[in-house]
Amino acid sequence: MMLILFCISCAEEDISGRPISQSDIWNCYNDSEWSDVKVKDELIGKWKWIYTENFWTPNEGWNTENENTVIEFLNDSSLQISVNSVLMGTTKWSVKPQDGELYGLELDSTITALLHGRILICGEILEFNNSYIDGSDNFFKKYN
């Protein structure tokens, strides 16, 4: 019985902490050459929110406020936001230069604050890095 409970708890994704350190995601992101087209191609698909950290309270991330939020970036330059599999909204999006040689999103509507900031991608982890202007950093994981 104990083994079954242990295995069930292993299936739950741990979102109690930052999924990757800020220095590690920067190093990983900078290991690749990026363009607006490459960033757009990497974003296409579904991303599940996993963690938010506010500039004013570093290392004290919020772990559940956006639980079950999924952002789907579509090839037609639209995106959909769903919470608990319920569509909450859609908008058009494009990748634009932001803060030097980095990239961010330009949205047709202010659909959510989760997508503000510089885009950093490392494998299955996506960060919208907004703490450099006193905002929140929002982390997503590629969702299948």
Tens digits of residue pLDDT in 89-121: 999 999 999 999 999 999 999 888 899 999 999
Question: Which pLDDT tens digit goes with each residue over 6-57?
Answer: 333 334 444 467 899 999 999 999 999 999 999 999 999 999 999 988 765 5
Domain boundaries, the chain: 17-143
- Return the structure tokens found at 25: 């995601």
What is the per-residue pLDDT for 45? 98
Q: On the CB side of 7, how many CA atoms lie within 13 Å of its CA?
A: 4
- Return the structure tokens found at 81: 């936001």
What is the per-residue pLDDT for 108? 95
CATH for the stretch 17-143: 2.40.128.280
Burial of 130 (0-12, 13-18, 19+ CB in 10 A): buried
List the beta strands (DSSP E) in the chain. Answer: 45-54, 69-73, 78-83, 86-98, 102-107, 118-122, 125-129, 136-143
pTM, 2 dp:
0.84
The rounded distance, in Å, linking the Cα atoms of 32 and 46 is 22
